[in-house]
């Protein structure tokens, strides 16, 4: 078991936008995979925000983009949208009257071991 909350701290001089992925058994009930992706946390320079880890799962995933172009990415793929969103990883895009379109694109998330760390400090 990991921590029940995870903090995100922006130690840079630019605004950051953070997406995160956490274990959510409701997603498993809906479509077979237990991961929920949420975004965006808007972090001003030197700001910290906290998000719940309701299952206290050991692993929590995060991805961030900065106004200055910096990217904090890893090797765990998941879809994000440029608009605020919440999406089970296993849900696809439904085709309606024409070719499928999607507001989502794939990025790589970093893994955070919440048994060792209580959050992320972006520098």
For the stretch 17-57, pLDDT in tens is 999 999 999 999 988 899 999 999 999 999 999 999 999 99
123 lies in some domain: no
Residue 121 lies in a domain: no
Please report where in the chains the tokens 């696809």 appear, as a residue. Answer: 92
**Mean pLDDT rounded to a whole number for the chain:** 92
Residue 102 pLDDT: 73
**Into how many domains does the chain fold?**
1
What torsion do the CA atoms of 104, 76, 107, 122 make, to the nearest 10 degrees?
120
Q: What are the structure tokens assigned to 75, written together?
A: 């090797």
* Percent of the chain surpassing pLDDT 70: 92
Query: Is 69 inside any structural domain?
Result: yes
- pLDDT of 99: 59
CB atoms under 10 Å from CB of 116, counted, come to 9
Residue 94's pLDDT band (cuts 50, 70, 90): very low
Q: State both tokens at 74.
A: 């890893």
Residue 75 within a domain:
yes
- Range of the structural domain that residue 15 is part of: 5-115
- Residue 122 counted as domain residue: no
Whether 120 is in a domain gets the answer no
The whole-angstrom separation of Cα 6 and Cα 3 is: 7
């Amino acid at each position: 078991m990991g921590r029940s909350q995870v903090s995100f701290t922006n130690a840079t001089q630019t605004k950051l936008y953070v997406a995160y992925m956490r274990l959510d058994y409701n997603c498993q009930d809906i479509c077979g995979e237990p991961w929920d992706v949420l975004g965006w946390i808007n972090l001003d320079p030197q700001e910290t925000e906290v998000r719940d880890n309701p299952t206290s799962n050991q692993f929590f995933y995060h991805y961030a983009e900065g106004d200055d172009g910096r990217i904090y990415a890893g090797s765990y793929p998941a879809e994000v949208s440029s608009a605020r969103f919440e999406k089970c990883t296993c849900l696809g895009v439904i085709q309606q009257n024409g070719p499928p379109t999607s507001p989502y694109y794939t990025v790589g998330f970093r893994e955070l071991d919440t048994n060792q760390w209580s959050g992320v400090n972006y520098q």
